[in-house]
Structure 1
């Protein structure tokens, strides 16, 4: 054998025997399972994502080739994602990301207090470092009302504790009057809105009414909400409520008036009264009371029919419609009463 080929064969054999792969390339967010400086041909390594990261692309396993050079490593990892922690009732959840090592911040709306941690971090296992907190309503202390005082209150919602937006209702012990709001609300600050107060109120002796009287009224001052009853002398009628009460302004509520009855200013006529046809001369000699209404019958000469026109008694005054024609005694014997004619509304 020629010495030259032999030398080349020896060099190639030595190179083959001595070929090794160096330390594998470092990959961001990942680590090879075997860590050493040299790898023999045919040895394998496997990349694993670091805690908190998951595979995204590329092959994990690589083999040291005859060339002694590692192939291009395409393996890549990305941060692991945590689940959305959930809706914070009466609060706000602030975050820009939900991946490993990112943080989330919790806060409550005005009137609520955070129970739990203000922040949580996404951990390597894909879970949050803290549980979802709760927003509890601010509590208000009992209002500064003496147990035996004139001002008392009651809650609209049962329970021993008053919280944000709860409402309480106030009342004063008789005969005191309540001034201010009848309710107070528990505010976001933990304080109550403005409370009312109780004051003593007196009304002077009530005024008399014309043509009337006050029932059994003692001549004295009256306390808040005390009442008196009014009445009218015959034949007057009461117009308005018979009762008047002492109000918190120190004045009386609106008092009634006594109104006069009305005489019907015709001697003979048939009218409608309380949905009945009645003759004035027979049934309505005493007239009608204030506020009552009668209907006069008028004649439509063109259609030879009748129609009614109302007239109401207002404090002794009753007007007769211009269309009404009073009939004399003889006319009642020979002519048909307008009230007995066919109603115009029945003529097509």
Structure 2
């Protein structure tokens, strides 16, 4: 059973309990099910708290699992006026070992590299179980997005990230059999990357089928088959007029806002859109004979954005993004006497937001939708 600090002593005898199991957790101001003195490894309990207290999690009830003699997470009932750790994108703050913060606690928020505070708001305070308006860390205008992809090259000594602070440097390395032309290192300056290297290789002639001369591709017919000398059929004329050349001859790859290059071949690039954006137009882009790129796609927004900072009925957590055709629960500011969740269901239809009134399952037995 869950022990409520009853003060008794449990005498253990060797071999009676499994080494991997857990003793009943001590849970002042709370209760759990099922109630047992010991639990086997992998067992899960559900617990709730007395009036005036709440679990150190987001809901008014919680679960904990026995893992090799320890409960994860540790069951805790904290004061109703205490606060759980805030959720702030692209930011960090001092973490409390207890995993919760007492009423009146103040945290200083620091934005991650490449981000800066919006409206210069840098602190939050726990006020009667809720945080004061949460600071927003937005991308700095001097920061850069992910560095460009260069064919036949990899970035070394740098893990993937979406935002790089001004002054950041990344270094490219060409694959075997390719030679570097230009600077190996690029630098983020005023929101843009400096020009990177090109990886080139010598190209020889093929035998039959297709011949590569320099960077231009032409199609030949093996001797003794197909069209007679001095005659070009209409299909070959069409193919010649739409001749493509290697993408190296078109310079830097096109930058598609909110898009990324997912595949590179000798004569084409393939684009996909980032999460919450939809690709409109051709996914494949080629370098044509004139040295220009073929038609480029665009990435159109496919989401709704709800700014909780501008709506007093919502708990301030910054901007909530909802994909088109989907819905999310947005936590509402709850009355002082409530210990259970209070939320609004927000839906996104073709860029238009529809939201229900703030409610809770205890008030509305069937649904809050």
Q: Calculate the TM-score normalised by the size of structure 2.
A: 0.23
Structure (1/2) with the larger helix percentage = 1
User: Which of these two proteins has the greater Rg computed from alpha carbons?
Assistant: 1
